[in-house]
Structure 1
Amino acid sequence: MPDQTAQVPPTAEPVPAAAPARRRRLRPGMIGVALLVLLGVTAGWWWEAGRKVLPHYLTATVTRGDVTRVVTATGTVNPVLTIIVGSYVSGVIRQISCDYNTEVMQGQVCATIDPRPYQAVVDQDKANLNVARAQLAKDQAALVYAQLNDQRNRQLILHNYVSKNVADNSRSLYEQAQAQVALDEATIEQRQALLSAAEINLSYTSIVSPVNGTVVSRNVTIGQTVAATFQTPTLFLIATDLTKMQVDTNVSESDVGGMKQGQKASFTVDAFPGRVLRGTVEQVRQSPQTVQNVVTYDVVVAVANADLALKPGMTAAVDIVTAQRPGVLRVPDQALRYTPSGAPTAPAGTSRVWVLRGGKPVAVLIGRGLDDDTNTEILTGDLQPGDRVILGEQRAAGSAALPLPRF
């Protein structure tokens, strides 16, 4: 029989003993502590890095140039002198010989009012004057007779040839004749004055130009009745010389203090875009103009118009130079408004700018001159052309806020 030998199973590898339960509980806690420490270190690094980011300064260069103060206003182009031609008498327009743009000479007839009613008055006054003159001649003859009669009776009464009553009566008649002649003479003067007035009114029926110029407006037509009873009607407007114009500008009361005669001005009109015209302040008028509680003053700018391009009534945008400093040291106005964070304010009554020197802002006290709302003239201070004045600051792009770390 075969041997029945017992089979011995192979020996298994020893299995290491499990770690004690206490060690399994400590490992998660240690990991949490490590994470907290790492998070704190990272956050501290991030905060410190963000805190130490230096600002980026916006700067401008100190330069030499012109500082010019300009007052801007709107105005209207007008002739230097415009004459209103009206009518002193009423009537119907019979003829018009002047129209828009007509060149007229002094004394030229522009329109005619029907003269017949006024001619009739002249004829009547002439007749009345002739009647008065005839009456004077008659009364002068009567005066001569009365004088002779008075003289004769005065001689006769000396010899008692006439009574005293007769002599007194002749004397009275003589004096009455003298008074009548004086009255006739006064009547003649009166009739002469009436005739002169009638002749003047007759002459007014011819509407004439009082000056040499150009008709810029006509307000009457043939057949129209004009009434001059209460107010002289305006028939024509005549500009004396359109080669010389003026711009009447409305300057606010806050700007008019710097205005004076002779200042240079420039302006543009919509009719000629891009064309800058030049002029000179001719007059600063004292009378204010108040519109909706806004007070303005009329500043007159004289301008040449040799090519007759400018037309009356055009709207002009005017720039008037009230002050100018050529070739001065200047800085942008924005530099005067900048102060670094945490820096003390400038002493009262002083001005300063901050100059970038060695990468750091340095305060420089200055004396200010003319300001044109863009640049300011520097009178005193440690500034030189080429210095960089600080206008503002900003953090570099991407460094204003650093991203938080991710885990």
Structure 2
Amino acid sequence: MNRKKIITIILVLVALSAVWYFFFRKKENPVVITTQKPFYGHISTSVTATGAVQPVDTVAVGTQVSGILKYIYADFNSEVKKGQLLAELDKVLLQAEVDRNRGQVANAQSQQVYQEAQFKRQEQLYKVGAISRADYDNANFLYKAAIASVESARASLRTAERNLFFTEIYSPIDGVVLNRSVSVGQTVAASFNTPTLFVIAKDITKMQVQASVDEADIGNVRDSQRVSFTVDAYLNDEFAGKVQEIRLRPSVSANVVTYTTIISANNDDMKLKPGMTATVTIYTAERDHALLIPSKALMFKPDSALSKKFKLISIAPPAAERHKRAVPVTGGDRDTTRRLTHDKGKNAEATNYVWVQRGDTLLQKKVEIGLNDNTRAEVLSGLSPDEDVITGMQEVTDKKAAGSGGQASPFMPQRRRR
């Protein structure tokens, strides 16, 4: 009886084990690694910013005298030449001022002639002793005062004539009128601030972008670096330029510090217009024909699942060993650690490693990395183009294996079952 019970228990256990093995046991999914060979190509690191398109040189044309605007000879977008008449103020009052000063000059000149004749007569009488020294000095004084009055009247006349000339407003440069701030019949008052009548751009075939670069990125920006930018009006067009100037004066807005960077650009096709918003990319470093690998290869680390399928050979010291090599540095209220380095100017944390597949062996290799744009990285040494660099790994499930071939799209209409 006991023997039958033991046999029964054994059979039940075997049955349960078989049920668990075939129905409930979690199957281990195979692990597949993805590799890619290093390749040669172009890589660059860049800084992005936004800015506004502006003409290289603009001139604000104003008036030095007050008056009513009588004529306007230029409008928006008008092409003007240097010395071209743009506008004209009413000349009636200023012309009257010129005429008044001319009359004063004539009066002063007649006074000078009269006082000169008087002085000559008094001089002859003084020589023969007919008048006193005081009468002679008084005549001399009146004569010299008349001469000074003539000079003063002439100066006032020149001022009035100059003010009359200022009623005609001329273009100081060759260019295009960007803005007209006045209309015919409007009164302009010239006081401490000269009123602006026109804004003229010198040459709109050459434009500049005033980009605001963040303080975290400005350290990598240099003069003459290559720049590309786009504007909302032409999303499919990319415009080229170069860094011309980095202004030292900072701009602070909401505790964010930016620096104005001037970027020069050609506008021969006249697509760029003043005031357009530009999205700027400044290329801080570039390499042509560089050996490249995906950046995610630098972050790949094999796990225990790969050790069952591949032989792993690691050359990097484990984390415990790196911690032992750390030297404590005391100071202040906290203890910090400083890692020992064998290379000058480089720390151990900056060392880069990648994994390479060689048959059924995964070998870790130390590489020297140059530029890294977070998508691709430049390999300076440690790899050759014919090696298979591991970029990642994934588990292949039954659903993935069954996958794309037999599975219908849930968005497609399905036929009803009968």
Q: TM-score range by the shorter chain?
A: 0.7 to 0.9
- Write the distance in 1 (CA, Å) between the matches of 2:8 and 2:106: 142
Q: Where does residue 171 of structure 1 map in the other structure?
A: 133
- Write the distance in 1 (CA, Å) between the matches of 2:229 and 2:222: 17
1:50–1:399: 8 Å Cα contact kept in structure 2? Answer: no
1:67–1:328: 8 Å Cα contact kept in structure 2? Answer: yes
Pair 1:185–1:40, CA change in 2 (3 A): farther
Shift of the alpha carbon at 1:85?
Answer: 1.0
- Cα deviation per residue 1:98-117 (whole Å; 9 max; x = unaligned)? 11121211111111111111
Letter in 2 for 1:388: D
Matches within 5 A, 1:339-350: 339-341=301-303, 344-345=318-319, 347-350=348-351
2:30–2:397: 8 Å Cα contact kept in structure 1? Answer: no
Letter in 2 for 1:150: Y
Shift of the alpha carbon at 1:95?
Answer: 0.9
- Write the distance in 1 (CA, Å) between the matches of 2:204 and 2:166: 27
Task: Pick one of 122, 127, 132 that aligns with 2:98.
Answer: 122
Q: Where does residue 395 of structure 2 map in the other structure?
A: 395
Shift of the alpha carbon at 1:326?
Answer: 0.8
Matches within 5 A, 1:133-212: 133-153=109-129, 170-212=132-174
Letter in 2 for 1:365: K
Q: Where does residue 372 of structure 1 map in the other structure?
A: 373
Q: Secondary structure at the match of 2:184?
A: coil
Q: Where does residue 92 of structure 1 map in the other structure?
A: 68
Pair 1:46–1:223, CA change in 2 (3 A): same
Pair 1:371–1:175, CA change in 2 (3 A): farther
Letter in 1 for 2:8: I
Q: Where does residue 358 of structure 2 map in the other structure?
A: 357
- Write the distance in 2 (CA, Å) between the matches of 1:389 and 1:357: 10
Letter in 1 for 2:218: V
1:259–1:322: 8 Å Cα contact kept in structure 2? Answer: yes
Pair 1:136–1:390, CA change in 2 (3 A): same
Q: Where does residue 298 of structure 1 map in the other structure?
A: 260
Q: Where does residue 385 of structure 2 map in the other structure?
A: 385
Letter in 1 for 2:172: P
- Cα deviation per residue 1:53-77 (whole Å; 9 max; x = unaligned)? 6643233332121111222222222
- Write the distance in 1 (CA, Å) between the matches of 2:150 and 2:191: 28
Q: Where does residue 101 of structure 1 map in the other structure?
A: 77
Task: Pick one of 7, 12, 30 that aligns with 1:35.
Answer: 12
Q: Where does residue 72 of structure 1 map in the other structure?
A: 48
- Write the distance in 2 (CA, Å) between the matches of 1:311 and 1:270: 11
Matches within 5 A, 1:249-328: 249-328=211-290
Pair 1:215–1:33, CA change in 2 (3 A): same
- Cα deviation per residue 1:260-295 (whole Å; 9 max; x = unaligned)? 332222222232331222223333333322333222
Worse-matched range after superposition: 62-71 or 40-49: 40-49
- Write the distance in 2 (CA, Å) between the matches of 1:366 and 1:182: 96
1:110–1:209: 8 Å Cα contact kept in structure 2? Answer: yes
- Write the distance in 2 (CA, Å) between the matches of 1:111 and 1:399: 80
Pair 1:114–1:29, CA change in 2 (3 A): farther
- Cα deviation per residue 1:42-62 (whole Å; 9 max; x = unaligned)? 8699999867x6643233332
- Write the distance in 1 (CA, Å) between the matches of 2:212 and 2:122: 78
Shift of the alpha carbon at 1:84?
Answer: 0.9
Percent of counterpart pairs with the same letter?
A: 37
Letter in 2 for 1:328: A
2:68–2:185: 8 Å Cα contact kept in structure 1? Answer: yes
1:61–1:331: 8 Å Cα contact kept in structure 2? Answer: yes
Letter in 1 for 2:125: N
Pair 1:267–1:172, CA change in 2 (3 A): same
Pair 1:96–1:276, CA change in 2 (3 A): same
- Cα deviation per residue 1:357-401 (whole Å; 9 max; x = unaligned)? 3344322112221222322211222x111323233333232499x
Shift of the alpha carbon at 1:337?
Answer: 2.3
- Write the distance in 1 (CA, Å) between the matches of 2:182 and 2:209: 28
The structure with more radius of gyration? 1
Letter in 2 for 1:272: Y
1:75–1:247: 8 Å Cα contact kept in structure 2? Answer: yes
1:93–1:111: 8 Å Cα contact kept in structure 2? Answer: yes
Q: TM-score, normalised by structure 1?
A: 0.78
- Write the distance in 1 (CA, Å) between the matches of 2:18 and 2:141: 135
Worse-matched range after superposition: 364-373 or 102-111: 364-373
2:229–2:280: 8 Å Cα contact kept in structure 1? Answer: yes
- Write the distance in 2 (CA, Å) between the matches of 1:193 and 1:35: 129
Shift of the alpha carbon at 1:297?
Answer: 2.3
Show structure 1 runs of 5+ residues with no match: 1-22, 157-165, 401-407
- Write the distance in 2 (CA, Å) between the matches of 1:362 and 1:174: 120
- Cα deviation per residue 1:198-252 (whole Å; 9 max; x = unaligned)? 2222111111111111112111111111122232111111112222222222222
- Write the distance in 1 (CA, Å) between the matches of 2:146 and 2:302: 103
Shift of the alpha carbon at 1:39?
Answer: 4.7
> Structure 1 residue 56 and structure 2 residue 32: aligned?
yes
Shift of the alpha carbon at 1:28?
Answer: 5.9
